[in-house]
C-alpha cells in the first residue's frame, strides 16, 4: 500500500514538473519564432544565435550537469550521515565555489570572445563575425548567473522541490518575449542580447523564496579541502567530461553549418535542435530530474534491488512514449517548422532546410532518452568514468560522420551525425550494466520494444496519410494548425489502439483509466 502511494506521488510530481517544463519550452518556441520572424536566417540571427550559444556551450561543458550530478549524491550522503545542518553548510560552500569558478570563466570568456567566435563559426564573413563578437561579450555573464541558478536547483531538488526549478525557464523566456513586444523596434539586436542576459539572471532570483521556505540559509565559504568538496571535485571531473557530448556536438555542428547556405545553416540547425530538445526534453528531463535524487538516496541506503527496478520501470515507460514521439515528429517535421517559424523573414527555403534538419535530428530521440536515464544511474553511484568513455567515443563518431556526410547531405548530414552518435553513446552506457546484471534489457523488455516500434512505424504512415488528406482544407495559420492537429490525433489513436491490442502495460493502464473516468 505504501509503495503504491509513493508511486502515485511520484507520477503526480513528474506530471506537474512536465507541465511546468512544457510551459517553459513553449515560451522558448515563441521566443525562437519571434527571432525567426524578426531576423530570419540572415546576419543578425546568425550572429545572435552564435553569441548566445557560446556561453551556454561552455556552461554546459563545465558546470551544468556536473553541478547537479556531483552535488545531489554528495548532499544526499551528507544529509543521511551527518545531518541537515551540516548538509546546508556544505551547500553554502558549494554555491560559493561554483559562483567563483563561473565568475572566472565569465571574465575569461569576455576577454577571449574573438577567438571563440572564430572557433564556433569560422565560415562567417567579417561583418557577421564582428557582430557575433560584440554580442558574445554582452551575453557571456549568463554563465555566472546560470551557475548560481543551477546550484540553487541542486539544493531544491535534494529537498524534493521540483516545481520551482522547472519554473525558471518560464521566467527567462517570458522576459525575452516581453522585449520583442516592447523594445525590439528601438534597440534591436543589442537590446535583445541585454534582455537575454537579464532573463537568465532572474533564474537565480526566483528560487530564493523557495530556498528560504525549505529552511536553507546561505553560509558563504570558499573551502575546497573539506570532505564533501573533495568528493565533489573527484566526481565532477569525469561527470563534467561525460556531459560534454551535447554541447560539443552543437559546437561541431555550428562550425560545419557556418559554411552552409552562406551561414544560414547555423540558424537552421539551431532552430531544429532547440525544437527537438523541447519536444523530447519536456518528457525525459522531467522524469530524470525527479528520479535522480531518489536514485541517489537508494544508493546511499544500499537498496540495490529497488534501485535496479526504478531504472528498469523508468526506461520502459519512457521509451513507450519516446519511440512514437520520434516517429510522429519525423512524419510532420516540415509542417511543424512551417507552423512555428514560418512567416516574416523566415521563408520557404528556410522552412525546407530546417524541416530536413528536424526530420533527421529526431532519429536521436531514443538514444537521448536511454542516455539521460542511464547516465543518472551512473551519477547516483558516483561513477563518472563510464559516461566519460561513452561521451568521448560518441564525440569522435560525430566528428567523423560530419566530415563524411556534410558535403553530400548538407544540414541533413549534420543532423544524422548527431542522432547516430547519440545512439552510440547510449549503447556504450548500456553494455557495462548488462554485463553486471544491473541493466534493463530482458527478453520481455526487448519484445515490448519491438511491439512499440511496430506500432510507431504504422502510426508514422497513418500520420503522413492524414496530413496529405487534410492539407489544403483551410488556408493561413488555421490551415497550418489543422495539418498538424488532425494527423496528430489520428496518430495517437492508431498507436494506442495497436499498443492495447499488443497488450503493452502502459497502454492497458492508460486505456483503463480513461474508460474508468
Please say if the pLDDT value at position 244 is more than 70. Answer: no
**Count of the separate structural domains present in the chain:** 2
Please say if the pLDDT value at position 2 is more than 50. Answer: no
Q: Please answer whether residues 289 and 165 qualify as being in contact, where contact means their C-beta atoms are separated by less than 8 angstroms.
A: yes
- The Cα 67–Cα 90 span in angstroms is 14
Please say if the pLDDT value at position 112 is more than 80. Answer: yes
Res 222: pLDDT: 84
**The C-alpha cell that represents 365 in the structure block:** 530521440
Tell me how crowded residue 348 is: count the other CB atoms within 10 A of its CB: 8
**The C-alpha cell that represents 484 in the structure block:** 498538424
Please say if the pLDDT value at position 3 is more than 60. Answer: no
Unique residue bearing C-alpha cell 559516461: 387
Based on the domain organization, do 308 and 403 belong to the same domain? yes
Please say if the pLDDT value at position 66 is more than 50. Answer: yes
The residue among 86 and 358 whose pLDDT is bigger is 358
Domain, as residue range, for 347: 2-441
Res 509: pLDDT: 82
> pLDDT, tens digit, for every residue of 331-363?
999 999 998 888 777 888 889 999 999 999 999
Q: Please answer whether residues 48 and 39 qualify as being in contact, where contact means their C-beta atoms are separated by less than 8 angstroms.
A: yes
Which residue, of 384, 412, 441, is where some domain finishes?
441
Based on the domain organization, do 510 and 397 belong to the same domain? no
Distances (CA, A) of 349 to 270, 342, 352, 354: 16, 10, 5, 9
> pLDDT, tens digit, for every residue of 304-323?
788 888 888 889 988 999 99
Res 62: pLDDT: 64
Based on the domain organization, do 84 and 226 belong to the same domain? yes
- The Cα 240–Cα 310 span in angstroms is 25
Res 69: pLDDT: 66
Please say if the pLDDT value at position 420 is more than 80. Answer: yes
Q: Please answer whether residues 20 and 167 qualify as being in contact, where contact means their C-beta atoms are separated by less than 8 angstroms.
A: yes
Based on the domain organization, do 463 and 414 belong to the same domain? no
Based on the domain organization, do 211 and 238 belong to the same domain? yes
State what percent of residues in the chain have pLDDT above 70. Answer: 93
Based on the domain organization, do 454 and 395 belong to the same domain? no
Interval 73-94 mean pLDDT: 84
Based on the domain organization, do 436 and 454 belong to the same domain? no
- Mean pLDDT of all residues in the chain? 85
Please say if the pLDDT value at position 398 is more than 60. Answer: yes
DSSP output for 173-198: HHHHHHHHHHTHHHHHHHHHHHHHHH
Res 434: pLDDT: 84
Based on the domain organization, do 448 and 436 belong to the same domain? no
Distances (CA, A) of 26 to 65, 140, 160, 187, 278: 22, 25, 25, 25, 8
Question: Residue 168: enclosing H or E segment and its boundaries?
Answer: helix 163-182
Helix ranges (DSSP H) in 332-442: 333-341, 348-361, 365-380, 385-409, 411-435
**Bridge partners (DSSP) listed for residue 443:** none
* Chain mean position to CA 192: 23
Interval 120-138 mean pLDDT: 89
Res 136: pLDDT: 94
Res 11: pLDDT: 57
Based on the domain organization, do 335 and 314 belong to the same domain? yes
Res 517: pLDDT: 66
Tell me how crowded residue 80 is: count the other CB atoms within 10 A of its CB: 13
Q: Is 183 exposed, middle or buried (0-12, 13-18, 19+ CB in 10 A)?
A: middle
Based on the domain organization, do 252 and 368 belong to the same domain? yes
Based on the domain organization, do 422 and 369 belong to the same domain? yes
Interval 355-376 mean pLDDT: 92
Quick one: pLDDT band at residue 499, thresholds 50, 70, 90? very high
Please say if the pLDDT value at position 364 is more than 70. Answer: yes
Based on the domain organization, do 344 and 402 belong to the same domain? yes
Which residue, of 418, 441, 464, is where some domain finishes?
441
Which residue, of 381, 410, 441, is where some domain finishes?
441
Q: Is 174 exposed, middle or buried (0-12, 13-18, 19+ CB in 10 A)?
A: middle
Please say if the pLDDT value at position 372 is more than 90. Answer: no
Interval 90-112 mean pLDDT: 90
State what percent of residues in the chain have pLDDT above 90. Answer: 33
Q: pTM score, two decimals?
A: 0.71
> pLDDT, tens digit, for every residue of 431-440?
988 888 777 7
Amino acid at each position: 500500500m505504501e509503495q503504491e502511494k509513493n508511486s502515485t506521488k511520484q507520477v503526480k510530481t513528474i506530471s506537474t514538473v512536465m507541465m511546468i517544463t512544457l510551459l517553459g519550452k513553449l515560451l522558448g518556441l515563441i521566443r525562437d519564432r519571434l527571432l525567426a520572424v524578426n531576423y530570419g536566417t540572415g546576419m543578425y540571427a546568425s550572429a545572435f544565435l552564435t553569441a548566445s550559444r557560446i556561453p551556454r556551450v561552455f556552461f554546459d561543458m563545465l558546470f551544468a550537469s556536473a553541478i547537479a550530478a556531483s552535488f545531489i549524491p554528495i548532499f544526499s550522503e551528507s544529509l543521511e550521515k551527518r545531518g541537515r545542518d551540516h548538509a546546508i553548510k556544505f551547500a553554502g560552500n558549494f554555491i560559493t565555489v561554483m559562483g567563483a569558478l563561473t565568475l572566472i570563466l565569465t571574465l575569461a570568456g569576455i576577454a577571449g570572445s574573438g577567438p571563440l567566435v572564430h572557433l564556433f563559426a569560422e565560415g562567417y564573413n567579417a561583418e557577421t563575425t564582428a557582430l557575433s563578437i560584440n554580442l558574445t561579450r554582452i551575453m557571456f555573464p549568463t554563465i555566472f548567473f546560470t551557475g548560481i541558478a543551477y546550484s540553487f536547483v541542486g539544493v531544491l531538488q535534494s529537498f524534493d522541490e521540483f516545481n520551482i526549478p522547472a519554473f525558471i525557464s518560464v521566467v527567462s523566456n517570458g522576459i525575452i518575449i516581453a522585449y520583442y513586444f516592447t523594445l525590439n523596434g528601438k534597440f534591436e539586436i543589442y537590446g535583445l542580447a541585454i534582455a537575454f542576459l537579464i532573463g537568465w539572471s532572474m533564474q537565480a532570483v526566483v528560487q530564493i523564496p523557495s530556498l528560504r521556505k525549505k529552511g536553507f540559509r546561505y553560509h558563504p565559504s570558499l573551502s575546497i579541502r573539506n570532505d564533501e568538496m573533495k568528493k565533489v571535485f573527484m566526481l565532477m571531473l569525469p561527470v563534467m567530461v561525460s556531459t560534454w557530448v551535447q554541447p560539443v556536438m552543437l559546437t561541431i555542428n555550428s562550425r560545419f553549418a557556418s559554411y552552409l547556405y552562406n551561414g544560414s545553416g547555423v540558424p537552421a540547425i539551431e532552430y531544429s535542435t532547440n525544437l527537438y530538445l523541447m519536444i523530447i526534453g519536456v518528457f525525459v528531463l522531467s522524469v530524470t530530474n525527479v528520479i535522480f535524487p531518489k536514485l541517489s538516496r537508494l544508493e546511499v541506503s544500499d537498496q540495490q534491488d529497488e534501485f535496479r527496478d526504478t531504472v528498469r520501470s523508468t526506461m520502459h515507460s519512457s521509451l513507450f512514449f519516446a519511440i512514437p514521439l520520434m516517429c510522429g515528429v519525423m512524419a510532420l517535421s516540415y509542417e511543424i517548422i512551417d507552423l512555428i517559424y514560418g512567416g516574416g523573414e523566415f521563408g520557404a527555403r528556410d522552412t525546407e532546410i530546417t524541416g530536413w534538419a528536424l526530420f533527421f535530428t529526431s532519429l536521436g530521440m531514443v538514444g537521448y532518452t536511454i542516455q539521460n536515464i542511464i547516465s543518472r544511474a551512473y551519477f547516483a553511484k558516483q561513477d563518472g568514468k563510464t559516461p566519460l568513455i561513452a561521451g568521448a567515443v560518441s564525440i569522435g563518431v560525430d566528428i567523423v560522420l560530419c566530415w563524411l556526410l556534410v558535403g553530400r547531405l548538407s544540414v541533413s548530414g549534420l543532423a544524422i551525425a548527431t542522432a547516430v552518435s547519440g545512439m552510440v553513446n547510449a549503447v556504450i552506457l548500456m553494455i557495462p550494466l548488462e554485463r553486471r546484471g544491473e541493466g534493463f534489457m530482458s527478453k520481455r523488455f526487448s519484445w515490448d520494444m519491438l511491439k512499440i516500434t511496430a506500432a510507431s512505424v504504422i502510426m508514422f504512415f497513418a500520420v503522413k496519410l492524414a496530413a496529405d488528406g487534410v492539407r489544403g482544407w483551410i488556408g493561413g495559420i488555421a490551415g497550418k494548425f489543422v495539418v498538424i492537429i488532425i494527423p496528430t490525433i489520428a496518430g495517437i489513436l492508431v498507436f494506442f489502439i495497436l499498443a492495447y491490442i499488443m497488450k503493452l502495460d502502459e497502454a492497458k493502464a492508460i486505456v483503463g483509466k480513461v474508460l474508468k473516468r
